[in-house]
Structure 1
Amino acid sequence: MFKSLYFELGRELVTPGIYGAMESSHKFALEIMHAMRLFCLGNWGKVSAEGKEMNEIALKDGGRLMGTYKTCKGKVWIITEADRSVTTVLFPKEY
Protein backbone atom coordinates (compact mmCIF):
# COMPACT_ATOMS: atom_id res chain seq x y z
CA MET A 1 0.00 0.00 0.00
CA PHE A 2 2.74 2.45 0.95
CA LYS A 3 6.16 2.79 -0.66
CA SER A 4 9.27 4.19 0.93
CA LEU A 5 12.13 5.60 -1.10
CA TYR A 6 14.52 4.88 1.77
CA PHE A 7 13.81 1.31 2.90
CA GLU A 8 11.66 -1.73 2.21
CA LEU A 9 8.48 -2.03 4.27
CA GLY A 10 7.83 -5.72 3.65
CA ARG A 11 4.31 -6.86 4.56
CA GLU A 12 2.28 -4.06 6.10
CA LEU A 13 0.31 -5.20 9.14
CA VAL A 14 -1.87 -3.69 11.83
CA THR A 15 -2.57 -5.34 15.16
CA PRO A 16 -6.13 -6.25 16.21
CA GLY A 17 -6.29 -3.18 18.45
CA ILE A 18 -5.31 -0.83 15.63
CA TYR A 19 -7.69 -2.56 13.21
CA GLY A 20 -10.63 -2.24 15.60
CA ALA A 21 -9.86 1.39 16.33
CA MET A 22 -9.61 2.14 12.60
CA GLU A 23 -13.00 0.51 11.98
CA SER A 24 -14.63 2.55 14.72
CA SER A 25 -13.04 5.92 13.90
CA HIS A 26 -12.57 7.42 10.44
CA LYS A 27 -10.39 10.14 12.00
CA PHE A 28 -8.07 7.54 13.54
CA ALA A 29 -7.84 5.65 10.24
CA LEU A 30 -6.75 8.87 8.52
CA GLU A 31 -4.20 9.52 11.27
CA ILE A 32 -2.72 6.05 10.75
CA MET A 33 -2.44 6.61 7.01
CA HIS A 34 -0.75 9.96 7.66
CA ALA A 35 1.65 8.39 10.17
CA MET A 36 2.56 5.69 7.61
CA ARG A 37 3.30 8.38 5.00
CA LEU A 38 5.56 10.21 7.47
CA PHE A 39 7.30 6.96 8.43
CA CYS A 40 7.95 6.11 4.77
CA LEU A 41 9.60 9.52 4.34
CA GLY A 42 11.92 8.94 7.31
CA ASN A 43 9.96 11.19 9.67
CA TRP A 44 10.03 9.10 12.86
CA GLY A 45 7.46 11.19 14.73
CA LYS A 46 7.88 11.72 18.47
CA VAL A 47 10.98 9.59 19.05
CA SER A 48 13.88 10.76 21.17
CA ALA A 49 17.08 12.16 19.68
CA GLU A 50 18.69 8.81 20.47
CA GLY A 51 15.86 6.98 18.68
CA LYS A 52 16.27 9.18 15.61
CA GLU A 53 19.99 8.49 15.59
CA MET A 54 19.39 4.75 15.93
CA ASN A 55 16.97 4.86 12.97
CA GLU A 56 19.48 6.75 10.84
CA ILE A 57 22.13 4.14 11.63
CA ALA A 58 19.61 1.35 10.92
CA LEU A 59 18.89 2.85 7.49
CA LYS A 60 22.58 2.45 6.62
CA ASP A 61 23.40 -0.76 8.49
CA GLY A 62 20.10 -2.67 8.32
CA GLY A 63 18.60 -2.48 11.81
CA ARG A 64 15.04 -2.21 13.07
CA LEU A 65 13.22 1.07 12.40
CA MET A 66 10.66 2.58 14.77
CA GLY A 67 8.39 5.60 14.66
CA THR A 68 6.12 6.95 17.40
CA TYR A 69 3.06 9.02 16.55
CA LYS A 70 0.34 10.76 18.58
CA THR A 71 -3.26 10.05 17.50
CA CYS A 72 -6.78 10.67 18.79
CA LYS A 73 -6.64 7.14 20.29
CA GLY A 74 -3.24 7.65 21.94
CA LYS A 75 0.30 6.84 20.98
CA VAL A 76 0.97 4.36 18.17
CA TRP A 77 4.20 2.73 17.09
CA ILE A 78 5.25 1.77 13.59
CA ILE A 79 8.02 -0.81 13.47
CA THR A 80 9.87 -2.21 10.47
CA GLU A 81 11.85 -5.31 11.33
CA ALA A 82 15.60 -5.38 10.67
CA ASP A 83 15.23 -7.87 7.81
CA ARG A 84 12.62 -5.52 6.23
CA SER A 85 10.13 -8.40 5.95
CA VAL A 86 7.30 -6.70 7.83
CA THR A 87 6.14 -3.29 9.06
CA THR A 88 3.60 -3.32 11.89
CA VAL A 89 1.40 -0.57 13.30
CA LEU A 90 0.50 -1.16 16.94
CA PHE A 91 -0.44 0.41 20.23
CA PRO A 92 2.46 0.25 22.75
CA LYS A 93 0.35 -1.96 25.05
CA GLU A 94 0.21 -4.55 22.22
CA TYR A 95 4.00 -4.92 22.05
Structure 2
Amino acid sequence: MDTLHVINPSFPTGQVVVSRGVYDLACEKPDFARFIQESLNRHVECDWGDVDDEDKETNNQALKQGLRLLSAYNDDRFPKHGVATIWIITEADRSATTILFPNEY
Protein backbone atom coordinates (compact mmCIF):
# COMPACT_ATOMS: atom_id res chain seq x y z
CA MET A 1 0.00 0.00 0.00
CA ASP A 2 1.33 3.41 -0.97
CA THR A 3 1.39 6.38 1.37
CA LEU A 4 -1.90 8.23 1.74
CA HIS A 5 -1.87 11.88 0.69
CA VAL A 6 -4.07 14.73 1.89
CA ILE A 7 -4.26 17.85 -0.29
CA ASN A 8 -5.89 21.08 0.92
CA PRO A 9 -7.84 19.60 3.84
CA SER A 10 -10.66 21.63 5.40
CA PHE A 11 -9.24 20.79 8.84
CA PRO A 12 -5.94 19.42 10.22
CA THR A 13 -5.77 15.64 10.03
CA GLY A 14 -2.68 15.03 12.13
CA GLN A 15 -0.94 11.75 11.42
CA VAL A 16 -3.00 9.53 9.11
CA VAL A 17 -2.90 5.86 10.14
CA VAL A 18 -4.71 2.71 9.06
CA SER A 19 -5.65 -0.34 11.07
CA ARG A 20 -3.99 -3.70 10.42
CA GLY A 21 -7.12 -5.07 8.73
CA VAL A 22 -7.44 -2.10 6.37
CA TYR A 23 -3.71 -2.18 5.64
CA ASP A 24 -3.70 -5.91 4.86
CA LEU A 25 -6.65 -5.66 2.48
CA ALA A 26 -5.18 -2.58 0.78
CA CYS A 27 -1.95 -4.51 0.17
CA GLU A 28 -3.93 -7.38 -1.38
CA LYS A 29 -6.28 -5.25 -3.49
CA PRO A 30 -5.06 -2.08 -5.26
CA ASP A 31 -8.68 -1.09 -5.95
CA PHE A 32 -9.33 -1.08 -2.19
CA ALA A 33 -6.25 1.10 -1.65
CA ARG A 34 -7.71 3.59 -4.18
CA PHE A 35 -11.07 3.44 -2.38
CA ILE A 36 -9.29 4.34 0.88
CA GLN A 37 -7.56 7.33 -0.75
CA GLU A 38 -10.84 8.50 -2.33
CA SER A 39 -12.64 8.15 1.00
CA LEU A 40 -9.92 10.09 2.83
CA ASN A 41 -10.18 12.85 0.22
CA ARG A 42 -13.93 13.03 0.80
CA HIS A 43 -13.46 13.10 4.59
CA VAL A 44 -11.05 16.06 4.50
CA GLU A 45 -13.47 17.91 2.20
CA CYS A 46 -16.24 17.50 4.84
CA ASP A 47 -18.14 14.92 2.76
CA TRP A 48 -19.01 12.61 5.64
CA GLY A 49 -20.00 9.74 3.38
CA ASP A 50 -22.59 7.14 4.27
CA VAL A 51 -23.80 8.47 7.61
CA ASP A 52 -27.33 9.67 8.30
CA ASP A 53 -28.33 13.33 8.30
CA GLU A 54 -28.12 13.57 12.10
CA ASP A 55 -24.53 12.30 12.08
CA LYS A 56 -23.65 14.69 9.25
CA GLU A 57 -24.95 17.60 11.33
CA THR A 58 -23.07 16.28 14.37
CA ASN A 59 -19.87 16.31 12.29
CA ASN A 60 -20.57 19.83 11.03
CA GLN A 61 -20.95 21.02 14.63
CA ALA A 62 -17.88 19.03 15.74
CA LEU A 63 -15.87 20.75 13.02
CA LYS A 64 -16.79 24.15 14.47
CA GLN A 65 -16.34 23.09 18.10
CA GLY A 66 -13.12 21.12 17.70
CA LEU A 67 -14.63 17.72 18.49
CA ARG A 68 -14.05 14.26 17.00
CA LEU A 69 -15.13 13.68 13.39
CA LEU A 70 -16.44 10.35 12.10
CA SER A 71 -17.13 9.46 8.47
CA ALA A 72 -18.26 6.14 7.01
CA TYR A 73 -17.81 4.96 3.44
CA ASN A 74 -19.31 1.83 1.90
CA ASP A 75 -18.13 -0.13 -1.10
CA ASP A 76 -19.69 -3.53 -1.67
CA ARG A 77 -16.77 -4.58 -3.87
CA PHE A 78 -14.63 -5.10 -0.77
CA PRO A 79 -16.48 -7.12 1.85
CA LYS A 80 -14.18 -8.59 4.44
CA HIS A 81 -15.79 -10.78 7.05
CA GLY A 82 -19.11 -9.36 5.86
CA VAL A 83 -17.95 -5.74 6.26
CA ALA A 84 -17.94 -3.43 3.24
CA THR A 85 -17.58 -0.23 5.27
CA ILE A 86 -14.60 1.76 6.48
CA TRP A 87 -14.68 4.42 9.15
CA ILE A 88 -12.42 7.46 9.18
CA ILE A 89 -12.05 9.14 12.55
CA THR A 90 -10.21 12.41 13.15
CA GLU A 91 -9.48 13.00 16.82
CA ALA A 92 -10.81 16.10 18.56
CA ASP A 93 -7.32 17.54 19.02
CA ARG A 94 -6.63 16.86 15.30
CA SER A 95 -3.50 14.90 16.22
CA ALA A 96 -4.47 11.82 14.21
CA THR A 97 -6.88 10.45 11.64
CA THR A 98 -7.49 6.70 11.72
CA ILE A 99 -8.96 4.56 8.94
CA LEU A 100 -10.43 1.28 10.17
CA PHE A 101 -13.18 -1.29 9.78
CA PRO A 102 -16.09 -0.80 12.20
CA ASN A 103 -15.36 -4.16 13.84
CA GLU A 104 -11.83 -2.92 14.66
CA TYR A 105 -13.10 -0.01 16.78
What is the TM-score when the length of structure 1 is the normalising length? Answer: 0.95
The 4+ residue runs of structure 1 with deviation greater than 3 A are none
Q: Does the CA contact (< 8 Å) of 1:3 and 1:9 recur in 2?
A: no
One-letter identity of the residue aligned with 1:83: D
Superposition RMSD on alpha carbons, in Å?
1.0
Kindly, what percent of the aligned residue pairs are identical? 40
- CA distance in 2 between partners of 1:70 and 1:21 (Å): 15
- Unaligned ranges ≥5, structure 2: 79-83
Is 2:98 the partner of 1:94?
A: no
Say if 1:22 and 1:48 are closer, same or farther in 2 by CA, change over 3 A.
same
Is 2:61 the partner of 1:57?
A: yes
One-letter identity of the residue aligned with 2:47: N
Aligned length, in residue pairs:
95
- Unaligned ranges ≥5, structure 1: none
Name the structure where helix makes up a greater proportion of residues: 1
- CA distance in 2 between partners of 1:3 and 1:85 (Å): 17
Name the structure where strand makes up a greater proportion of residues: 1
